[in-house]
Amino acid sequence: MVDLRVIDGGGGERGDKQAQWAEEMAAQALERLAVEILRGVARGPENSYRVGTAVRDLYEHLTPEAIKVRLYATMDSGLRSANSRLLPDTPNNWDDELPWLLKSALRLAAETIATDGFARGRASQRRSDFDHAVEQYILQREERSREGGGSYLVRLLERLPPLRPSPSLARVRRAKKRKPATKPKKPA
């Protein structure tokens, strides 16, 4: 296939604009694919049609006729755009921690489904990071509520059903209540 952008008089600025447009469209297709993959993983495997459509759309934008699309520039642009919406430069003051909570959840999800040899260790660390992000989110919400004279935690507990201990916690409590068998003392 002839690349008209490199032949004298055969493309020039018009070809550059076409290539730039093609890369932008491919970057948008990558963003849609990322969203559809996340949705598909959350919904389950029976919803793979939209993921397949997004993959086909991305492929069509990466391989247009007579236009060379730079793969890594396209991927960088698409991921940068999605990341900027997830973690905006100017977060809302009323919900500063939410983007970080979302990022922690995505990192935990990625490492949970990873299958390489070090995935379990990374998943454990990401779980710790996620727990910390949840705590920070709750603390921020409570702090904001108290500034307004209320309490986020009190309202949250009022909306929840009565808390019951989890079955695993009940087993631990029963095990602690049992006294270990004592060995008979040896005569001196």
Residue 176 lies in a domain: no
**Which residue stretches of 44-178 are H helix?**
49-62, 71-86, 98-113, 119-147, 152-159, 167-177
Considering the domain architecture, whether residues 82 and 140 belong to the same structural domain is answered as: no
**Domain end position, chosen among 68, 86, 104:** 86
Considering the domain architecture, whether residues 4 and 77 belong to the same structural domain is answered as: yes
Q: What is the pLDDT of residue 66?
A: 54
Considering the domain architecture, whether residues 33 and 69 belong to the same structural domain is answered as: yes
Considering the domain architecture, whether residues 63 and 116 belong to the same structural domain is answered as: no
Considering the domain architecture, whether residues 82 and 92 belong to the same structural domain is answered as: no
| pTM confidence score | 0.63
Residue 173 lies in a domain: no
Considering the domain architecture, whether residues 30 and 100 belong to the same structural domain is answered as: no
Considering the domain architecture, whether residues 147 and 72 belong to the same structural domain is answered as: no
**Domain end position, chosen among 40, 63, 86:** 86
Residue 186 lies in a domain: no
Residue 119 lies in a domain: yes
Structural domain count, the chain: 2
Residue 179 lies in a domain: no
Considering the domain architecture, whether residues 5 and 66 belong to the same structural domain is answered as: yes
Considering the domain architecture, whether residues 67 and 98 belong to the same structural domain is answered as: no
Considering the domain architecture, whether residues 73 and 14 belong to the same structural domain is answered as: yes
Range of the domain at 114: 88-156
Structure tokens at 177: 């209540």
Residue 100 lies in a domain: yes
- In a 13 Å sphere around the CA of 170, the CA atoms on its Cβ side amount to 4
Q: Is residue 73 within 8 Å of residue 22, measured between CB atoms?
A: no
Residue matched to tokens 């002839």 = 2
Considering the domain architecture, whether residues 38 and 102 belong to the same structural domain is answered as: no
Q: What is the pLDDT of residue 35?
A: 87
Q: What is the pLDDT of residue 9?
A: 46
User: Based on the number of CB atoms within 10 Å of its own CB, is 119 exposed (0-12), middle (13-18) or buried (19 or more)?
Assistant: middle
Q: How far apart are CA 53 and CA 56, in angstroms?
A: 5
Considering the domain architecture, whether residues 63 and 98 belong to the same structural domain is answered as: no
Residue 76 lies in a domain: yes
Q: What is the pLDDT of residue 176?
A: 67
Provide the residue-wise pLDDT of the chain in tens; the chain has 188 residues. 445 454 444 445 656 788 788 888 888 988 888 888 888 888 877 778 888 888 898 888 887 665 677 778 888 888 888 888 777 766 565 567 788 888 899 989 989 988 888 989 999 999 999 999 999 888 988 998 899 899 988 888 888 887 777 777 666 666 666 666 666 666 65
**Domain end position, chosen among 60, 86, 112:** 86
Q: What is the pLDDT of residue 165?
A: 72
Residue 69 lies in a domain: yes
